[in-house]
């Protein structure tokens, strides 16, 4: 599945406050997932295998490393957990880094919200305005991100430019 996202990631020290703001809008709660994202060595973009109790997918994406909301072009392959898939990826590409996280997942229409606690990094909120059909358009996705950034009172200094994988690599 090819997906166009417009998204942001921001550091926060108060996930509970942000979650309460979102809950006031009556979002659909998908659940709390414990996810292991294994990133692989690839020549361009990022390739990760997500293993969770809710979400399991092989995800390739390209996104600029800018500290604000940005477009992300995603190829997503959802699958049932499969050890052989991971073994093939590890042998063919090698592991770049592993990111462990606890993630609460919510939706409002086409917008996905993540409240993340990342082992070794801290707490973050991610907002992904998602267009799976090509019918929403980038301008509407940008507007949705702006509206939720305002709701959460995200300051420019809160935005994170890098992926969790990049942040983990900087720690080591």
Give the count of domains, the chain: 1
What pLDDT, on a 0 to 100 scale, did the predictor assign at position 85? Answer: 96
Q: How confident is the model at residue 69 (pLDDT cuts 50, 70, 90)?
A: confident
What pLDDT, on a 0 to 100 scale, did the predictor assign at position 77? Answer: 94
pLDDT tens profile 14-51:
999 999 999 999 999 999 999 999 999 999 999 999 99
**Residue 81: which domain range?**
2-171
pLDDT tens profile 117-157:
998 899 999 999 999 888 999 999 999 999 999 999 999 99
- Whether the per-residue pLDDT at 110 is higher than 80: the answer is yes
What pLDDT, on a 0 to 100 scale, did the predictor assign at position 45? Answer: 93
d(C-alpha 43, C-alpha 118), whole Å? 26
What pLDDT, on a 0 to 100 scale, did the predictor assign at position 169? Answer: 92
Q: Cβ distance 98 to 38 under 8 Å?
A: yes
Q: How confident is the model at residue 65 (pLDDT cuts 50, 70, 90)?
A: confident
- Whether the per-residue pLDDT at 172 is higher than 80: the answer is no
For the domain that residue 22 is a member of, what is the CATH number?
2.40.320.10
């Amino acid at each position: 599945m090819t997906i166009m996202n417009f998204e942001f990631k921001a550091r926060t020290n108060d996930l509970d406050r942000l979650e309460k703001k979102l809950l006031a809008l009556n979002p659909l709660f998908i659940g709390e997932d414990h996810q292991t994202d294994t990133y692989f060595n690839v020549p361009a973009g990022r390739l990760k295998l997500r293993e969770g109790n809710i979400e399991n997918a092989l995800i390739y994406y390209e996104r600029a490393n800018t500290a604000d909301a940005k477009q992300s072009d995603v190829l997503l392959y959802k699958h049932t957990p499969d050890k052989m898939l991971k073994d093939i990826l590890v042998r063919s590409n090698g592991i770049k880094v592993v990111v462990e996280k606890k993630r609460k997942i919510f939706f409002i229409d086409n917008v996905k919200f993540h409240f993340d606690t990342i082992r070794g990094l801290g707490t973050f909120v991610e907002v992904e305005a998602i267009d799976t059909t090509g019918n929403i358009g980038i301008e509407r996705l940008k507007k949705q991100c702006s509206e939720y950034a305002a709701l959460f009172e995200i300051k420019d200094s809160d935005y994170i430019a890098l992926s969790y994988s990049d942040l983990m690599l900087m720690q080591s």
